[in-house]
A and B are shown apart, each in its own frame.
Chain A
Amino acid sequence: MIPLTIMLFKSVIVLVFLAVTTMFLVYLERKVSAHFQVRYGPMRVGWHGSLQLVADAFKLLMKEDIIPKMADKWVFLTAPVLVFVSAYLAYLVIPFSPILVVKDLNVGLLYVIGVTSLTVLAILMAGWSSNNKYALLGGLRAVAQIISYEIPLILSIIPVIMLAGSLSLNRIVAAQNNLPFILLQPLGFLLYLLSATAEVNRTPFDIPEAESELVAGYNIEYSGMRFVMFFFAEYLNMFTVCALATTLFLGGWQGPFLPAPVWFFLKTYFLVLVLMWMRWTLPRLRIDQLMNFCWKGLLPLSLINLILTALWMVIYG
């Protein structure tokens, strides 16, 4: 009974924290993008626009929840919930500190990859059920892209598992006590970061929701609170891949002087800022370039990385 209570308590902390984080991430994105474009960003609501997100949330909550007439109603209604839940589920195993992890599963990494893949299903549901050609195209593109990029993503993670000898995220962090894995796996880190950006549909790879061709992609027919769910899930997914990259490559919560969660957030937010920097620098790829990049670029490189790591471990390990 007591372990269950502790777990519930921890999950409440994590849920509240995530709600605040997503709000902050949206604010951060708006501010950072503004400064990349030499302007101010939100400045009116609160100090330097810090309450802008609260105002936006109220506005979106009060908007009408529109369901298209010919939409597949139940699929349409459940897709945002599914995308939201799949974004939250990953935080069951991500260690913010040695203690602040809801449940340190011994198959943690497998679990994370599994639940984050649910997003694809939700996006396809949204695209299919909207009964809109742009939404359908966006959904299909999302499936093609995310499933393709899952392969180099997982192949770039496998060397880390080999080095750490465990799938539990806390043990992977503990294995980086002396040396973070980014120094042993620089190529792996780069591959992970690129394919993770494609996984969460961020800008160099955001063809499922390309504004200039698909209007808004799979979330075109959603309004009000359901749109917010997609939006929040997107930012939460971005935080998830950055948190996972921190855990796998940057030594997670380990670091001198400062407490463990602080180190975790410093590293994760650094990666978040790198992703934002990428978004506001690079233009969007075409779909054929995107697929070529995955199958002809990332996949061979990640296989080479895997084989080299295996050889290194056989010879020196």
Chain B
Amino acid sequence: MGKFIFWVWSGIYNLYLGFATTFKHLFRPAITIQYPEEKSAPFPAFRGNLKLRRDKCTSCLLCVNYCPNYCIDIKYEIGENKRKKLLNYTVDMGKCMYCGLCVEVCPFSANYWDQSYERSVYDRAQLIERKDL
């Protein structure tokens, strides 16, 4: 009999706990956000789009050699004092797997990730991006 009363009582208590929890949730402000109008900032380490600071790049080709998917293509010419001059830095973002090796290997921090995430395009050709900054 005592066991039965305890059983009924614990049932009622647990029901109360459940109902109280959901009731509290009813008055909490919603944690979802209304996407196109409000946007949440990505985390600092988020890898969005690969960007290049053109003035810092020395065309050393380390990023090209480290890229596992061969998606970086650099065109350069030998200018005065035998210094390399960057002409064109293209990345095929369709091939890129966002490993970030190019960013880590760059000795002058010319490569970096930005925080953009709305990056869908209509054509695969549009994913081949010229990096100019």
The reply to whether the CB of B117 lies closer than 8 angstroms to some CB of chain A is no
Is there an interface contact between B22 and A280, defined as CB atoms closer than 8 Å? Answer: yes
Is there an interface contact between B25 and A37, defined as CB atoms closer than 8 Å? Answer: yes
The reply to whether the CB of B120 lies closer than 8 angstroms to some CB of chain A is no
The reply to whether the CB of B9 lies closer than 8 angstroms to some CB of chain A is no
Interface centre among B22, B23, B34, by most chain A C-beta atoms within 10 angstroms, is: B22
CA distance A286 to B66 in the complex (A): 58
Is there an interface contact between A40 and B32, defined as CB atoms closer than 8 Å? Answer: yes
The reply to whether the CB of A38 lies closer than 8 angstroms to some CB of chain B is yes
User: Which residues of B in the span 13-69 have a Cβ within 8 Å of any Cβ on A?
Assistant: 15, 18-19, 21-23, 25-26, 28-32, 34
A40's closest neighbor in chain B, by CB? Answer: B30
Is there an interface contact between B31 and A35, defined as CB atoms closer than 8 Å? Answer: no
Interface magnitude class on chain B: 10 to 19
**B32: A residues at CB distance < 8 A:** 38-40
**B26: A residues at CB distance < 8 A:** 32, 35-36, 277
**A280: B residues at CB distance < 8 A:** 22
The reply to whether the CB of A304 lies closer than 8 angstroms to some CB of chain B is no
- Least CB distance, B5 to chain A, in whole angstroms: 15
26 residue pairs bridging A and B, Cβ less than 8 Å apart? A32-B26, A35-B26, A35-B30, A36-B22, A36-B25, A38-B25, A38-B28, A38-B29, A38-B30, A38-B31, A38-B32, A39-B30, A39-B31, A40-B32, A40-B34, A43-B34, A277-B19, A277-B22, A277-B23, A277-B26, A280-B22, A281-B18, A281-B19, A281-B22, A282-B15, A282-B18
